[in-house]
Structure 1
Amino acid sequence: MPKRLLQGVVVSDKQDKTVVVRVERRFTHPLLKKTVRRSKKYHAHDEGNAWKEGDTVWIEESRPLSKLKHWVVVQGEKRVEV
């Protein structure tokens, strides 16, 4: 079975080697027929503490690394500071 890939935004980088990523999904409500946005937070492993708040990253499913971490940051792009 292939590993799932999700794209999200880093919302917290306070922990060591861990980032919290918010993944947003959009779907049409079955009754109201209106587009609805829902988000979920995932704890992901960040070996080099490379990603900071606001960065967009791709996370990949992995074996359990701790109680909450089942995802690993694969790649991403830094937020452009103006």
Structure 2
Amino acid sequence: MAVLGNKQIKELVGKVLSTSMVDTIVVSIPVVKMHPIYKKRYTQYKKCYAHIDSSAQECVVGDKVKIQQSKPLSKTKRWLFIEKVS
């Protein structure tokens, strides 16, 4: 997590699902949960819409990327593209 003053800013790593929108990428974030009775771990995925500058359009579908939480940029976008993770 990045620290900005007294606040911690969430950073997540996920896989790019779509790049077809202008200045927006769709990222799939894995969330590991445990069943309350059977104690088996399972993975669910959540989709996050992230803003990407037009100058940094180097992402393709399937890339691993790091995104950072930000203020709401539109109805669905609350994340910013930070970098590609190898």
The runs of 5 or more residues in structure 1 that have no matched partner are none
Is the 8 Å Cα contact of residues 20 and 44 (structure 1) preserved in structure 2? yes
Counterpart pick for 2:69 among 61, 67, 74: 61
Residue identity (%): 33
Q: How many residues align?
A: 78
- Letter of the 2:33 partner, please give it: F
Q: 2:27 matched to which residue of 1?
A: 21
Q: What is the CA-CA distance between 1:77 and the residue it aligns to?
A: 3.2
Q: How much is the aligned-residue C-alpha RMSD, in angstroms? A: 1.2
- Any conservation in 2 of the 1:7–1:58 contact (CA below 8 Å)? yes
Structure 2: stretches of 5+ with no match in the other structure: 1-6
TM-score, normalised by the number of residues in structure 2? 0.83
Which secondary structure does the structure 1 equivalent of 2:9 belong to?
Answer: coil
Q: Provide TM-score, normalisation by structure 1.
A: 0.87
**Structure in which a larger fraction of residues adopt strand:** 2
1:3-82 map, 5 Å: 3-47=9-53, 48-77=56-85
